[in-house]
């Protein structure tokens, strides 16, 4: 895996004769140290239709400075990016190309723009000389090297980047000083974006949402499709919670296809939904292992040491390690598969030419409430059955089915909330509480099954199974508490004003 650096910075417009204002005394800045000038030469790569630029991703091969090499920058938040680095070589490194595979999907990454910068570097340091931030004045010349007749543009900008582990409040303080001195924040998020704009290349603009039912549903679907592709890179990097978030995006897409079938023709959406179900199932192998490991580890950590009899932690680590290795490899194989790439292509094609039905052209407030309420009635029927059953296997299964129905209602309400407002938001929040109780109950069911197997393994190895049995009993008691809580939580999850829209 490539080296990673979290980049937190601010950019400001400047003129060729602009001088960096004195920043001494700003927050903890004791001195500004001139580090001299450096010449940087970077060639930026993208697909010919700018798929990376459309997602605010930059990939470059840069020489000069102390970090020459390949740099892939992935957006995290406004002004925050993760920069992944690889050694300098002629071709795009496979480690970086793989992280954008979900966007390129076999399209060639070609050199598009060359940026040559004269950088004047200054370090902002504290009283002990420790680096707080770097302020750079860049004189940039951008040259278009592919896609037409080409073009060049020149500009000057000031860039202030926080040191590793630095306090973001320093950037706020520096910002105030620079604004008082007349500097304006840069109009472009990156040098590449500015270069593309000024040399006549722009990524396609995202479609605008309209007030129709179809407009709202399509906006939701595009958002979730974007999340799916965004979290692809995070899963490949093995970032915390990334598998879960990617899996949620697949579920929200499937749920929207089913809930809003009066808006989108199921003959077109069903095949895509089927593939999304496959993907969610494959991701679930890794995610379920992760959730269960965290749950059992926390339960063991909460026990007094006098109740940890036998090599409990070691056995759990061995079980988790074996499962994690297998599930992780399987997940990566899925993301590299032709089937997954075909799914992403099919999803893009569907959103580019959506199979809209007549109801799609009606106002959102006239169509969406009925779709949400239909899902709610389905949930109500499942809840009624689950609450009527005695404790045991059948009730466990019924509660799990109710949990899945609760997710669908929640997702439907969240998708409709921008158009329906507070009634939809309120329902989503209340159903989420129901889902949480049902989810913890189901996790307990799964945990008990695993604890039983671990106890059997321990016994077969000549170890005491006391601690595993104790944990089993705790999970059983936890599930019983969730069953007692459920009726009250469910009673609060009413559609309310949504019925009157």
Tens digits of pLDDT across the chain (501 residues): 568 889 999 999 999 989 999 999 999 999 999 999 999 999 999 999 999 999 999 999 999 988 899 999 999 988 899 999 999 998 999 999 999 999 999 899 999 999 999 999 999 999 999 999 999 999 999 998 876 555 788 999 999 999 998 899 999 999 999 999 999 999 887 888 888 887 777 777 778 878 899 999 999 999 999 999 999 999 999 998 899 999 999 999 999 999 999 999 999 999 999 999 999 999 887 778 888 999 999 999 999 999 999 999 999 998 888 766 667 888 899 999 999 999 999 999 999 999 999 999 999 999 999 999 999 999 999 999 999 999 899 999 999 999 999 999 999 999 999 999 999 999 999 999 999 999 999 999 999 999 999 999 999 999 999 999 999 999 999 999 999 999 999 999 998 888 876
Collapsed DSSP state (helix, strand, coil) of residue 481: helix
Buried b (16+ CB within 10 A) or exposed e, 69-108: bbbbbbbeeebebbbbbbeeeeebbebbbbbbbbbbbeee
Q: How many residues would you count in the chain?
A: 501
How large is the C-alpha radius of gyration of the chain? 27
- Give residue 2's pLDDT: 63
- Look at residues 225, 450, 178 and name the one whose alpha carbon lies nearest to residue 323: 450
Angle made by CA atoms 363, 368, 371, in degrees to the nearest 5: 145
Buried b (16+ CB within 10 A) or exposed e, 336-359: eeeebbebbeebeebeeebebbeb
Give the HSE-up count for residue 82: Cα atoms under 13 Å, Cβ half-sphere. Answer: 13
| Residue ranges matching CATH 1.40.20.10 in the chain | 213-500
Tokens found for residue 472:
């089993």
From-to residues of CATH 2.40.320.10 in the chain:
3-198
Of 134, 119, 135, 115, nearest to 193 by C-alpha is 115
Cα 147 to chain centroid, rounded:
32
How many of the other CB atoms lie within 10 Å of CB of 302? 10
Q: How is residue 237 written in tokens?
A: 């990097």
What CATH number labels 3-198?
2.40.320.10
Return the closest-CA partner of residue 89 out of 116, 58, 62.
62
Strands 152-162 and 131-144: antiparallel
Residue 152: the pLDDT is: 85
Residue 220: other Cβ atoms inside 10 A: 24
Looking at residue 268, its pLDDT comes to: 96
pLDDT at 434 (0 to 100): 97
State the Cα–Cα distance between residues 466 and 137, nearest whole angstrom. 66
Q: Domain 213-500 in CATH: superfamily? A: CHAD domain (1.40.20.10)
Q: What does the pLDDT read at residue 194? A: 87
Residue 389: DSSP 8-state: S
């Amino acid at each position: 895996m490539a080296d990673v650096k979290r980049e937190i910075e601010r950019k400001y417009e400047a003129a060729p004769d602009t001088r960096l204002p004195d920043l001494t005394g700003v927050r903890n800045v004791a001195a500004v140290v001139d580090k001299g000038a450096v010449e940087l030469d970077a060639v930026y790569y993208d697909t010919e239709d700018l798929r990376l630029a459309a997602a605010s991703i930059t990939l470059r091969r840069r020489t000069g400075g102390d970090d020459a090499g390949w740099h892939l920058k992935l957006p995290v938040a406004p002004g925050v990016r993760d920069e992944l680095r690889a050694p300098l070589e002629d071709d795009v490194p496979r480690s970086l190309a793989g992280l954008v595979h979900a966007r390129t999907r076999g399209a060639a990454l070609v050199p598009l723009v060359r940026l040559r910068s004269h950088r004047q570097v200054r370090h902002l340091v504290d009283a002990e000389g420790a680096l707080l931030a770097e302020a750079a004045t860049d004189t940039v010349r951008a040259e278009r090297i592919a896609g037409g007749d080409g073009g060049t543009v020149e500009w000057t900008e000031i860039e202030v980047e926080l040191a590793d582990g630095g306090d973001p409040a320093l950037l706020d303080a520096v910002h105030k000083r620079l604004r008082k001195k007349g500097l304006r924040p840069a109009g472009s998020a990156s040098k590449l974006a500015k270069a593309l704009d000024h040399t006549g290349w722009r990524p396609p603009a995202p479609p605008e949402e309209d007030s129709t039912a179809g407009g709202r549903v399509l906006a939701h679907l595009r958002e979730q499709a974007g999340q799916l592709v965004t979290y692809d890179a995070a899963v490949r990097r093995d970032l915390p919670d990334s598998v879960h978030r990617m899996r949620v995006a697949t579920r929200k897409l499937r749920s929207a296809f089913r809930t809003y079938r009066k808006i989108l023709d199921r003959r077109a959406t069903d095949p895509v939904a089927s593939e999304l179900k496959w993907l969610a199932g494959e991701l679930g192998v890794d995610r379920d292992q992760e959730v269960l490991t965290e749950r059992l580890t926390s339960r063991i950590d909460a026990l007094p040491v006098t109740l940890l009899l036998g090599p409990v932690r070691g056995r759990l680590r061995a079980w988790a390690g074996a499962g994690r290795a297998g599930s992780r490899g399987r997940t990566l194989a899925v993301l590299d598969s032709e089937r997954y790439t075909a799914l992403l292509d099919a999803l893009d094609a569907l959103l580019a030419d959506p199979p809209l039905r007549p109801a799609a052209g009606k106002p959102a407030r006239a169509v969406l409430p009925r779709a949400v309420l239909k899902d709610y009635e389905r949930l109500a029927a499942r809840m009624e059955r689950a609450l009527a059953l005695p404790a045991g296997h059948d009730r466990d299964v019924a509660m799990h089915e109710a949990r899945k129905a609760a997710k669908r209602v929640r997702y439907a309400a969240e998708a409709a909330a921008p158009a329906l407002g507070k009634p939809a938001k309120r329902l989503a929040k209340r159903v989420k509480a129901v889902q949480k109780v049902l989810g913890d109950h189901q996790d307990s069911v799964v945990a008990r099954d695993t604890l039983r197997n671990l106890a059997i393994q321990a016994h077969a190895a000549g170890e005491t199974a006391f601690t595993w049995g104790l944990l089993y009993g705790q999970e059983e008691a936890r599930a019983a508490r969730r069953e007692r809580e459920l009726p009250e939580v469910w009673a609060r999850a009413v559609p309310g004003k949504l019925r009157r829209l």
